Amino acid sequence: MPIRIRYKDIPSSTQLFNDFLYDFERVRPYYGRSPSLSEFESVARKTTIEPEHRKALVKSLRYQNEGCGEEVAKSLSLLEDENTVAITTGQQIGLLGGPSFSVYKALTAVKVASTLRSRGVQAVPIFWLATEDHDLAEVDHAWLLDVNNRPSCITVETLATVHQPVGEVQLAKSEPARLREAVTTALGDLPHAELAAHLASESYSVGADLRSAFKIFFRSLFDRYGLILVDPMDSTLRRLAAPTVRTAIENAMDLNQEIVARGASLEQDGYHAQCHVTASTSPVFLMRDHRRVTLTIDGEYVDGEQRYGVRDLCALLDESPERFSPNVLLRPIVQDFLLPTAVYIAGPAELAYLAQAEVLYRRLLGRMPVIAPRASFTVLDARAERYLKRYELDVTDCFQRAEDLRRKIAGKLIPTSLEKAFHDGENSINMALDAIDSDLAQFDPTLGAALLNIRKKMFYQFGKVRSSVARESLRRNERAEHETEHLTNLIFPNGTLQERSFSGLSFLARYGEHFLDHIYESIQVERHDHEVIVL
């Protein structure tokens, strides 16, 4: 039976995210609707886009998904219908698919769309590729859980220029062969290592850019689920989104005031503002020579070289909409202006900045989709399950530094007789000191503090001896040392959740394509705890 862990018991989980999941009324002003199936249905039945807009959208998506499989073709055909809504999610185009939570996001969107269709609501899953981002350092590497159950970081060299959108970044000529070799070496003779190496090789081929590579990678995984992929840098979509971008440019000063006020409200309620916004923040970047150039507002828009009045910038938008890229808060509004999104599947960090973006949804779009958390998993193998039982540990015990977990396990390796002796000794000392304390209080109450200090020192020294015994027990038990390492590497690699570190390729190499089916079947659209599954 799957184990569910409340996010409150997971390190680094924010108060905003915890309240969103477990005390929604506290955060309702920032999101409007709770992530429940009834709300999904309610919003879906009201969400629509203009017929001509939908026609242009589907035409662009057919082009972008050219060569797709039968299920994606069905989704595209269904999207042509005026009553069809999108269940949307998205992520940066990380190497080898990025962290495995990207896979979980996609499957959550697929599951929600399928659930709605079973209830008579026409819905299709859509994955928005964050090709416009220019933070290359976040996408040029991937972590694999290697054949020896150790974290292995794989990086690629690129031909990127400063502030170039990552979707346009090409791999260096030698990288495809080196990447396949690195994946093959890391995954060794795991049961499905050849499948994983083939997927990496087919996706990241000579001449590929990160956008096309990610699309091939995801298409290979999710074609059979009917997942539509969207690249926002498509020229048709840029032109289609221009009206919303124009309104944001024209009203930036007023919008910034509202966003700043929203940030203050969040902080006053004990939360955090994910995005720093000031009066000079521009809602858009300007594309120049394949670079994403920052604009600021100082009476006019300024890019460091040139000043633009609002009319000038809007005229440039009319002429060349592909030269404009939305910032992190405007991006979801552009996305959901383009798409008939009824539900957006978000991770914890996204959910935080969407609390600020709600201001823009209200002002620019007049509607906001239901925000729902993505499914979240830790995948255990049979060995890890056995080790947890052996040492009487919960998965949450492993959400800590490796040395702390070793110390905890070491404490369980002390011989039973010695452990009993320590326990009896502590009780004896406590009883003796309690008796002295009782008589001492009658003799001279002022001496009680001195006795308390002696008690603390005695137990401190007593504890040091016990810790030394625990360390020696662990040193003598090499098996336990190895098993501690296995648990740490698998459950909390690099000091973070497994899903935030390892590429899904790690699990495909172990379990094959059925890994995706296991995850899909485990997703329950109205259960939002972190789930532990054993495969």
Tell me the C-alpha distance between 485 and 402, whole Å: 7
Please write the tens of the pLDDT for every residue from 46-104.
Answer: 999 999 999 999 999 999 999 999 999 999 999 999 999 999 999 999 999 999 999 99
> What residues contact residue 259 under an 8 Å CB cut-off, 6+ apart?
275, 277, 281, 329, 356, 359, 360
**Pairing mode, if any, of strands 300-302 and 291-298?**
antiparallel
- Which residue from 198, 227, 20, 6 is spatially nearest to 106, judged by alpha carbons? 227
Tell me the C-alpha distance between 394 and 385, whole Å: 10
User: Residue 282 in contact with residue 324, Cβ under 8 Å?
Assistant: no
**Which run of H or E residues covers position 92?**
strand 85-92
- Which residue from 347, 395, 397 is spatially nearest to 371, judged by alpha carbons? 347
Tell me the C-alpha distance between 487 and 183, whole Å: 22
Query: Which pair of structure tokens corresponds to residue 370?
Result: 């239901």
| Alpha helices in 306-415, H assignment, sequence order | 310-319, 331-338, 348-360, 382-390, 402-411
Quick one: average pLDDT of 505-509?
97
Tell me the C-alpha distance between 112 and 124, whole Å: 9
Domains recognised in the chain with CATH numbers? 1-378+497-524 (3.40.50.620), 386-496 (no CATH)
Please write the tens of the pLDDT for every residue from 218-249.
Answer: 999 999 999 999 999 999 999 999 999 999 99
pLDDT at 88: 98
- Which residue from 39, 50, 155, 20 is spatially nearest to 87, judged by alpha carbons? 39
Three-state DSSP class for residue 513: coil
Residue 283 has pLDDT above 80, yes or no: yes
Tell me the C-alpha distance between 110 and 79, whole Å: 14
**Which run of H or E residues covers position 424?**
helix 416-443
Tell me the β-bridge partners of 308: 301
Please write the tens of the pLDDT for every residue from 132-146.
Answer: 999 999 999 999 999
